[in-house]
């Protein structure tokens, strides 16, 4: 029996497709779901689970066939994209609508760097003007220092 080995990319797409079935047609509330198992595919009915398993195969099959057929990842993605839309990709495509998403973090980082530069510039300890003590102050200073030394 030849094992079915999936690439991580296609597996991601399959995962997403499987997850979609939970959204599709689920009419009841999710009140049974608690803040719990991350991504544990839990179902409210046998019917849902059956559909989930059905879909696992439904999507693996054409993707598997396409992979065996020599189609590139890009071609497979295009195929799925035409039929299911952007929603199916975990990694959003780079388009005008997602420019903010993809370049936002970089912009934040640059902003951060600019802020640090600004802070550093202003934080340099000022060059102190030499403090000149007058006679009296110098006397007091000497007395103090002597006192300290003796202790």
Interface of this chain with another protein, residues 26 to 85, rule: CB under 8 A: 26-27, 29-47, 49-51, 53-55, 58, 61-62, 81-85
Please state, as a whole number, how many other Cβ atoms lie within 10 Å of the Cβ of residue 79.
14
Q: How far is the CB of 128 from another protein (least distance, A)?
A: 12
Contacts of 52 (CB under 8 A, 6+ apart): 18, 21, 22, 41, 43
Q: Using the minimum distance from each CB to another protein, give the nearer residue, 33 or 140.
A: 33
Measure the CA–CA gap between 148 and 151, rounded to whole angstroms: 6
- Does residue number 148 form part of the binding site for another protein (CB under 8 A)? no
CA atoms within 13 A on the CB side of 140: 5
Binder to another protein among 7, 73, 109, 137 (CB under 8 A)?
109
Q: Using the minimum distance from each CB to another protein, give the nearer residue, 72 or 108.
A: 108
Read off the tokens for 87. Answer: 């929603």
Q: Using the minimum distance from each CB to another protein, give the nearer residue, 31 or 134.
A: 31
- Does residue number 90 form part of the binding site for another protein (CB under 8 A)? yes
- Does residue number 20 form part of the binding site for another protein (CB under 8 A)? yes
Q: How far is the CB of 142 from another protein (least distance, A)?
A: 25
Q: What is the size of the binding site for another protein (CB under 8 A)?
A: 78
- Does residue number 120 form part of the binding site for another protein (CB under 8 A)? yes
Please state, as a whole number, how many other Cβ atoms lie within 10 Å of the Cβ of residue 21.
21
First-to-last CA distance in the chain? Answer: 90
């Amino acid at each position: 029996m030849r094992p079915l080995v999936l690439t991580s990319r296609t597996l991601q797409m399959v995962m997403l497709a499987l997850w979609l079935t939970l959204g599709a047609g689920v009419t009841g509330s999710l009140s049974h779901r608690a803040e719990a198992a991350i991504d544990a595919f839990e179902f409210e009915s046998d019917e849902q689970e059956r559909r989930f398993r059905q879909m696992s195969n439904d999507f693996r099959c054409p993707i598997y066939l396409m992979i065996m057929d020599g189609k590139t990842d890009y071609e497979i993605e295009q195929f799925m994209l035409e039929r299911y839309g952007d929603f199916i990709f975990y990694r959003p495509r780079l388009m005008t609508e997602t420019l903010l998403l993809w370049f936002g973090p970089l912009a934040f980082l640059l902003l951060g760097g600019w802020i640090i530069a600004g802070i550093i510039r202003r934080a340099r300890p000022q060059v102190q003007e030499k403090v000149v003590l007058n006679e009296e102050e110098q006397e007091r200073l000497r007395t103090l220092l002597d006192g300290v030394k003796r202790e």
